[in-house]
A and B are shown apart, each in its own frame.
Chain A
């Protein structure tokens, strides 16, 4: 498709609100996601304050009763996974990067893309509205297991859970449209000369994530609709009193829920995979192996879900099968990790802010990865299931791709997105503060988990064992760390705002990178490419011998 076919909108509404331009839609997803991250962060603050100083008034919130505490826990998890990780990593960066990286003028279905965002926006409104309905927001945990979530009698609040389910179902319908768009675009709209194995790894990861999402989300949407019907139409899908089976929901939820982890993880790793070669001036080590590992991860992610149900009383033969698949999935992840390390090896590493965040992703994720082995094997999961060890584990698993990966992408592609450079000093301060406080927050949770402190406890003082000075000290340290993480985002906000207003103008290719998005002006114009680029080589040809430049753009003729 030539750029001439792209209509250039004139009105404000068509250009900035109901835009079909993938870059504008990406920014809409991004801003919504960042706003929701703020909401989720504040909920974390309320939660941590209650745990460190139970029963006392929380500055800016007041005292919190158990029902509201449960709602805060539920909404924090829901928002961070579904309304932060998904829109930012998948929707925002997928939208922005896929067409630019494959040399396309826009997404394959621009109007579907716009519809996807606005349905997502609506789902956000529904979710936020649920805080203000009688009975408060959903308080059944982010997994919303019935029967607890199936009836107001069990979890309080008639409307909270119903709105929660509605919002989740709507959001997933939105991302389904986005996913179809991503897949079609990456398969069909690549620039001439770009073979599948010439695609940047970020595109592979987005493609992988979209396919995983596409195949896993159906059962969950169906599951959510059945649960809504149970609540409002007195059907009996999960209601034990009418012969329903609550375990069915667990299967439907986790059949989606575990692949979802990789839906989030892959784009985060994709950002890392783009940044590492650029800032070590080396080709990506084992590009094809990386692609195969992505595909294998995707396939395996569909057959691990029941490890969330080891203690629900599943047959030991099933537990064995799922234990094996679960620990097996660490093989492709290990392959990816080794490929990252080998890319660094003998490179010329420059620790610019995007690189710091990319490396931070790996350094931190490793602890999440190895603690996953503790939980993935059914025998030891019995120990640690539902304790703070799990909480620490999944924060160590998800924060690296979701936040470190996002920040790596933010610092790396900000010049392309907004046409301005970010300040390096503030960026580095942002990294180190976030990195340090991340450990201050979550390492105490490993210790508390070993100590038997389990999750979703509105007040640790209910347990004499949790009243010891050690346990209390750990709670206070974790809370201080959480507040530290929140405050560490000040340099990020200041840096972004100041750079948007007064940052140095970004050149087209500030990092001297190879991929196609760096061949167009920053920010790229509507329609992206002046002429359709011709691709001659893979994305990571750095330090090619006998060339003056140590980079070799994908579309450069020899």
Chain B
């Protein structure tokens, strides 16, 4: 089976609509630094787990006898799974607030687990009946003081867990400070629209934030419940129809961060992604300046042909391109789609081939998506792709 798997990864099955290697071969290099850092930190945790094993030596048999105990040590070391989506490697105040309380609770629970499981296993091993002697156990019905003690003890431990928890609940629910950059986020099946009222910008699936300035996200939904989550930055927080939830954070250093819808939202829930770019102030302003300008009419004849096709073939029913008659807001905003790194909500790299494939048959990329399969000729698709790719 493993061999089949490798063949699959090598792309032998590339003809299948969901062939991963075909779709996702890129961008891992961007994540490399983050990943290796995560790995290093986790090694550290594993090291601690090793030290703690000395505590476990309540009984010689213990580790052998008790897979769950070994398992917990494994869990401690578990972040060895090397990737950018790990939550255990935050880069914002928001993320660190959670990280701090998480580490505390983690070690509390490790201690509780070891002690209680140790007692349980000890009792089982120690008091197995010796068939020959068959001694009668002493008849004990209870011990009031002991029972009161083991009611109070967990309650006391829980206070140590509750206090930092409550502090963090309020910290991550805090309102954005004055002067924060407001961004309106709307989730749809299955893409994201972003709007910057301060700049008059509308864009989709790719969010840019300036480093050092707090952002104030207003989260809403156009259809079902979604959830905003950038593992290393912040979230999760749900996008609920008829409500506006808010979340605030400040990016601290430039970078590219992966985001994903975290609330089950239908057939292509797994394919509802986005990217966040934290830019330094200069490049953010540059990006914003460009984004708020309307689309420039194409010069290239093929792209002009595409612009016409876009307006006549049906695309206009759902998409908006500022500066043209296309003004519908059903689908993602396309005014500067040529500038984005990904298309189809973080699913495909923004290349002419991928875009053509997407326009030809959206359902093969994102099952259940509302984007219609229009009856377009290959020439029409190529022209539309040339037009959209030119929307820088």
Q: Which residues of A contact B24 (CB under 8 A)?
A: 461-464, 467
**Would you call B19 an interface residue if the criterion is a C-beta within 8 Å of the partner chain's C-beta atoms?**
yes
- For the complex, give the distance between the alpha carbons of A312 and B242 in Å: 13
The smallest beta-carbon distance between B142 and chain A, in angstroms, is 4
- Known A281-B137, A331-B155, A350-B129; judge A55-B109 contact (CB<8 A): no
Flag if A155 contacts B140 (CB, 8 Å): no
Q: Which residues of B contact A121 (CB under 8 A)?
A: none
Flag if B79 contacts A450 (CB, 8 Å): yes
Q: Which chain A residue has the least Cβ–Cβ distance from B97?
A: A379
Flag if B81 contacts A470 (CB, 8 Å): yes
Flag if B18 contacts A55 (CB, 8 Å): yes
Flag if A312 contacts B240 (CB, 8 Å): yes
Q: Which residues of A contact B101 (CB under 8 A)?
A: 377, 379-380
Flag if B120 contacts A348 (CB, 8 Å): no
Flag if B88 contacts A450 (CB, 8 Å): yes
- For the complex, give the distance between the alpha carbons of A383 and B161 in Å: 16
Q: Among A55, A363, A474, point to the contact of B8 (Cβ < 8 A).
A: A55
| Chain A proximity mask over B127-141: 1 for CB below 8 Å, otherwise 0 | 111000011111111
Flag if B264 contacts A379 (CB, 8 Å): no
Q: What total count of A-B pairs have CB within 8 Å?
A: 356
- For the complex, give the distance between the alpha carbons of A513 and B27 in Å: 65
**Would you call B224 an interface residue if the criterion is a C-beta within 8 Å of the partner chain's C-beta atoms?**
yes
**Would you call B10 an interface residue if the criterion is a C-beta within 8 Å of the partner chain's C-beta atoms?**
no
Q: Among A281, A344, A384, A386, point to the contact of B136 (Cβ < 8 A).
A: A281
- Known A55-B13, A374-B106, A380-B98; judge A323-B162 contact (CB<8 A): yes
**Would you call A126 an interface residue if the criterion is a C-beta within 8 Å of the partner chain's C-beta atoms?**
no
The smallest beta-carbon distance between B144 and chain A, in angstroms, is 8
Q: How many chain B residues touch A (Cβ–Cβ < 8 Å)?
A: 115
Interface segment, A11-19, A82-90, A420-428, A540-548? Answer: A540-548
| Chain A proximity mask over B84-101: 1 for CB below 8 Å, otherwise 0 | 111110000000011001
Flag if B86 contacts A378 (CB, 8 Å): no
Flag if B97 contacts A66 (CB, 8 Å): no
Interface segment, B204-212, B230-238, B291-299? Answer: B230-238
Q: Which residues of A contact B112 (CB under 8 A)?
A: 370, 373
Flag if A378 contacts B165 (CB, 8 Å): yes
> 8 Å CB contacts to B: which residues of A351-408?
351, 359, 362-364, 366-367, 370-371, 373-374, 377-380, 382-387
Flag if A459 contacts B102 (CB, 8 Å): no
- For the complex, give the distance between the alpha carbons of A382 and B99 in Å: 10
Interface segment, B168-176, B194-202, B372-380? Answer: B168-176
The smallest beta-carbon distance between B108 and chain A, in angstroms, is 7
**Would you call A60 an interface residue if the criterion is a C-beta within 8 Å of the partner chain's C-beta atoms?**
no
- For the complex, give the distance between the alpha carbons of A451 and B258 in Å: 13
- Known A287-B142, A455-B264; judge A67-B127 contact (CB<8 A): no
Q: Which chain B residue has the least Cβ–Cβ distance from A384?
A: B87
Q: Which chain B residue has the least Cβ–Cβ distance from A351?
A: B128
**Would you call A338 an interface residue if the criterion is a C-beta within 8 Å of the partner chain's C-beta atoms?**
yes
| Chain B proximity mask over A427-459: 1 for CB below 8 Å, otherwise 0 | 000000001100100010011101111111111
Flag if B241 contacts A246 (CB, 8 Å): yes
Q: Which chain B residue has the least Cβ–Cβ distance from A149?
A: B224
Interface segment, B47-55, B65-73, B274-282, B307-315? Answer: B65-73
- For the complex, give the distance between the alpha carbons of A435 and B65 in Å: 12
**Would you call B74 an interface residue if the criterion is a C-beta within 8 Å of the partner chain's C-beta atoms?**
yes
Flag if B81 contacts A383 (CB, 8 Å): no
Q: Among B18, B116, B225, B264, point to the contact of A366 (Cβ < 8 A).
A: B116
**What are 26 sample pairs from A and B whose C-beta atoms fall under 8 A apart?**
A55-B19, A66-B270, A70-B266, A147-B241, A246-B242, A247-B240, A282-B137, A288-B142, A311-B236, A328-B155, A331-B158, A334-B150, A341-B123, A345-B123, A350-B128, A362-B120, A378-B168, A379-B168, A380-B101, A443-B71, A443-B75, A450-B86, A462-B18, A462-B270, A463-B270, A467-B24
